[in-house]
Homo-oligomer: A and B are copies of this chain.
Amino acid sequence: MRLTRYTDYAMRVLLYVGAQDEERLSPISEISRAYGISQNHLMKVVNDLVNAGYLESVRGRFGGVRLARPAAEINVGAVVRHTEEGFDLVDCGSCIIAPACGLTSALAEALAAFMKVLDGYSLADLLHKRQAFAALFGGELRRK
């Protein structure tokens, strides 16, 4: 069972930016280097997060992105709902038993329990080891 890579990248961007000093702008090139993820892949995710109101983007030579609201007000469940393409855990579309299948409702119930847990977390909760984050990013960036 996996979340999409898109969700993975979105969460990584938010964690990176959330670990910075509040007003600091993180260039996408920097986030790209820190995670070893191509800038092209990140651009789409970042634009999406800007449009969704999670990030604020400033253009130009000293531009970059920062959180558009406090990390405590960014709900993890909401981000995952936004970035996941779909929550069809199995492909019922072509399945002849769909009308009678009890698996569908069991999976829906399991998914609701999954999301309820994520709904209980904010980005700030995930960043409780903020100092450790900053050190990891710092070390990585110095090496590059």
In the bound complex, what is the Cα–Cα distance between A101 and B39 (angstroms)? 22
Q: How many copies does the complex hold?
A: 2
Contact, CB under 8 Å: A102 / B89: no
Q: Which residues of B contact A140 (CB under 8 A)?
A: 96
* Complex interface residues of chain A between 120 and 144 (CB less than 8 A to chain B): 121, 125-129, 132-133, 136-137, 140
Contacts of A101 in B (CB 8 A): 15, 126, 129, 133
Quick one: given A11-B90, A117-B113, A136-B99, are A106 and B1 in contact (CB under 8 Å)? no
Contact partner, A103, options B15, B106, B114, Cβ 8 Å:
B15
Query: Which of A2-10, A20-28, A42-50, A59-67 is found at the contact surface with chain B?
Result: A2-10
Counting chain A residues whose Cβ lies within 8 A of the other chain, the interface size class is 35 or more
Chain B nearest CB from A124 CB (Å) reads 9
A115 within 8 A of B: yes
Q: In this complex, what residue of B is CB-closest to A139? A: B96
Q: Closest B-chain residue to A104, C-beta based?
A: B126
- For residue A2, which residue of chain B has the nearest CB? B89
Query: Which B residues lie within 8 Å of A2 (CB)?
Result: 1-2, 88-90
